């Protein structure tokens, strides 16, 4: 008569121990850590986005900047490499293409078709051989997708993109050269 209740208690105890072990194992499993939110703490003050805005999208732009050898403004007889425009793909942090960046005028276009241009507010040095940091104020977006409501765009984490090292002289006036570059474009919206 006592064997049945003993078996029931043993089964209940075994079940409880198994459940406890399972919960402990689940708790010990490494939880995916969310990617850290972009921080502008280490950026120069001139290119920091004002309070009241939040990061809406982070992209990595990879492509080319085109320069043309032209007469130097207000310097007769002198020439210089002049920025013509960018052509780059915009990828999300996982490497998936989410848009393009091209110009002139400088235009950020989402894969959903929405796009915008912007007005430069500030630049700051980002290191030798690299384009400067940049802060632009977004113009109203065309289309109702990812670019709708963007207030500011920051260009950070720069690699390359400066004018060619090759000579620009009267003999090669009009010549165009493309330079590889990479930059993170951080899109902000009102908080």
pLDDT, tens digit (0-9, with 9 covering 90-100), for 55-74 = 999 999 999 999 999 999 99
> Is the predicted pLDDT of residue 154 greater than 60, yes or no?
yes
Both 67 and 120 in one domain: the answer is: yes
Query: Could you report the per-residue pLDDT of 45-59, keeping only the tens digit for each?
Result: 999 999 999 999 999
For residue 17, give its domain range: 1-31
Both 12 and 85 in one domain: the answer is: no
Averaged over 118-136, what is the pLDDT? 97
Q: What is the pLDDT of residue 11?
A: 52
Q: How far apart are CA 146 and CA 144, in angstroms?
A: 7
Phi, psi of 102 (to 5 degrees): -150, 175
Let me know: does 98 contact 110? Beta carbons within 8 Å. yes
> Is the predicted pLDDT of residue 78 greater than 50, yes or no?
yes
Higher pLDDT, 85 or 13: 85
> Would you say residue 71 lies in a domain?
yes
Q: Could you tell me how far CA 98 lies from the centroid of its own chain?
A: 11
Q: What is the pLDDT of residue 38?
A: 85
Both 24 and 68 in one domain: the answer is: no
> Is the predicted pLDDT of residue 24 greater than 50, yes or no?
no
> Would you say residue 183 lies in a domain?
yes
Q: How far apart are CA 165 and CA 170, in angstroms?
A: 16
Cis, bond preceding 81 (omega within 30 deg of 0): no
Helices (H) and strands (E) in the chain, counts: 1, 8
Q: Could you tell me how far CA 128 lies from the centroid of its own chain?
A: 21
Total of domains in the chain: 2
Residues 6+ apart with CB under 8 A from 114: 141, 142, 143, 144, 145, 146, 147, 148
Both 23 and 115 in one domain: the answer is: no
Both 79 and 162 in one domain: the answer is: yes
For 106, the 3-state DSSP assignment is coil
> Would you say residue 111 lies in a domain?
yes
Both 139 and 100 in one domain: the answer is: yes
Both 7 and 85 in one domain: the answer is: no
Phi, psi of 119 (to 5 degrees): -115, 125
> Would you say residue 37 lies in a domain?
no
> Would you say residue 154 lies in a domain?
yes
Element (H, E) at 18: helix 3-28
> Is the predicted pLDDT of residue 172 greater than 60, yes or no?
yes
pLDDT-derived band at 34 (thresholds 50, 70, 90) equals: very low
What is the chain's mean pLDDT, rounded?
87
> Would you say residue 38 lies in a domain?
no
Picking from 83, 131, 90, the residue whose alpha carbon sits closest to that of residue 104 is 83
Q: What is the pLDDT of residue 85?
A: 96
Instruction: Please give the DSSP secondary-structure letter assigned to residue 121.
Output: E
Both 96 and 163 in one domain: the answer is: yes
> Is the predicted pLDDT of residue 30 greater than 50, yes or no?
no
Rg of the Cα trace of the chain? 27
Instruction: Please give the DSSP secondary-structure letter assigned to residue 126.
Output: -
> Is the predicted pLDDT of residue 26 greater than 90, yes or no?
no
Query: What percentage of the chain carries pLDDT values higher than 90?
Result: 79
* Cα end-to-end distance, the chain, whole Å: 70
> Would you say residue 40 lies in a domain?
no
């Amino acid at each position: 008569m006592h064997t049945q209740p003993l078996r029931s208690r043993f089964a209940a105890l075994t079940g409880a121990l198994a459940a406890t072990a399972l919960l402990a194992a689940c708790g010990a499993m490494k939880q995916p850590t969310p990617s850290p939110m972009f921080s502008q703490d280490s950026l120069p003050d001139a290119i920091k986005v004002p309070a009241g805005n939040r990061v809406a999208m982070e992209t990595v732009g990879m492509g080319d900047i085109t320069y043309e050898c032209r007469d130097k403004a207000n310097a007769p007889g002198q020439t210089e490499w002049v920025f013509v425009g960018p052509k780059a793909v915009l990828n999300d942090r996982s490497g998936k293409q989410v848009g393009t960046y091209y110009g002139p005028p400088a235009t950020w276009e989402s894969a959903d078709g929405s796009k915008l241009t912007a007005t430069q507010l500030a630049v700051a040095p980002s290191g030798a051989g690299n384009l400067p940091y940049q802060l632009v104020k977004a113009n109203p977006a065309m289309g109702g997708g990812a670019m709708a409501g963007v207030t500011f765009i920051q260009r950070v984490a720069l690699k390359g993109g400066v004018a060619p090292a090759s000579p620009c002289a009267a003999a090669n006036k009009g010549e165009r050269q493309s330079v590889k570059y990479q930059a993170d474009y951080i899109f902000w919206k009102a908080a």
